[in-house]
Amino acid sequence: MNGSVMLRSRQRTRRSALISGALCVQLLLGLIFVFLAAVLSNYLMHWWTSLPGHSPTVHFAARLAVRFVVGWLLLLLTALPVFRVGFVLYKLLRRLEESDFTQDHPPLSPEQLKLFAAQEDHIVQNHLASMVLVKPGMLRGFLIRAALRALKFVVPLKAWNGYLGSMRTIHFAHWTLVGNSGRLLFLSNFDGSWQSYLDDFVDKAHRGLTLAWGNCVGFPRTEDLVRQGAAHGTEFKAWARQSQTQNILWYSAYPTLTVNQIIRNTSIVDGLRKESMKQKEAEQWAQLL
């Protein structure tokens, strides 16, 4: 009886590993396509924007269209060789993920924690600045660039209404590679406390965090590029606090307003500017007052 249970358990584990591996290969392929499409489309867009008479809206729509078309052309032309490359990259990635150094319980200086606490919770918003080292190696360098390009492409489409999914506390968030791409800088303005901000990320966007930060030194152990990592909330928050840098100053356009209040006020102003409204639209606008 116990033998059959153990056999079924092993079969489920193998099946889960195969599915996870297949999904990771697909994600790696997607990152490769996004990276190549972004490079080619940037060349095309650079030529197109040099022509006169294009508004910002037309420019944005054209950029998305060009990247979509270029991406599908690359997919058709390079599907087989890229699939082979993606499989090799996946095997190398899994080997790195299993052997990478992690900081599950990084040391936190009480003096540094006091300095951070002294800078926080003075207004309804707070600021976070973080600087971390990128893991060495060509594969890690490629993956972090491709991951940031993928996030840059996907997030504006997902957050078109001003909210990042169900997270309604983020005013600004930005990752950028600095120091000859050897370090990753993260800056963010958000509503509420540091603790609630990271709790929101862990609960609602841990895969995106793992994709962005998983190639950085000391980050909690990842699996298949987007799994585990930031899902381990306690380890991730300890790592995030340890990698945080003390900021001298930061800017807030509306220091007394939350994201919800800013968007509500914007909707009220937009309604006042309209010459007329339908009854249902007018009722929805009146509820904002």
Structure confidence by residue, pLDDT tens digits, 55-71: 666 666 666 676 666 66
pLDDT in the model for residue 7: 46
Greatest mean pLDDT among 33-37, 66-70, 154-158, 237-241: 237-241
pLDDT in the model for residue 190: 93
Q: Which residues contact 78 (CB under 8 A, 6 or more apart)?
A: 36
Helix ranges (DSSP H) in the chain = 2-49, 56-99, 110-119, 138-158, 194-213, 233-243, 259-273, 279-286
Domain spanning 110-243, CATH architecture: 2-Layer Sandwich (3.30)
Task: Specify the higher pLDDT residue, 152 or 133.
Answer: 133
Least confident range from 35-39, 156-160, 199-203: namely 35-39
Task: Specify the higher pLDDT residue, 123 or 161.
Answer: 123
pLDDT in the model for residue 110: 84
Q: What are the domain boundaries of the chain?
A: 2-99, 110-243, 258-289
Return the DSSP state at 253.
S
Comparing CA positions, the residue from 155, 197, 196 lying closest to residue 175 is 155
Task: Specify the higher pLDDT residue, 19 or 43.
Answer: 43
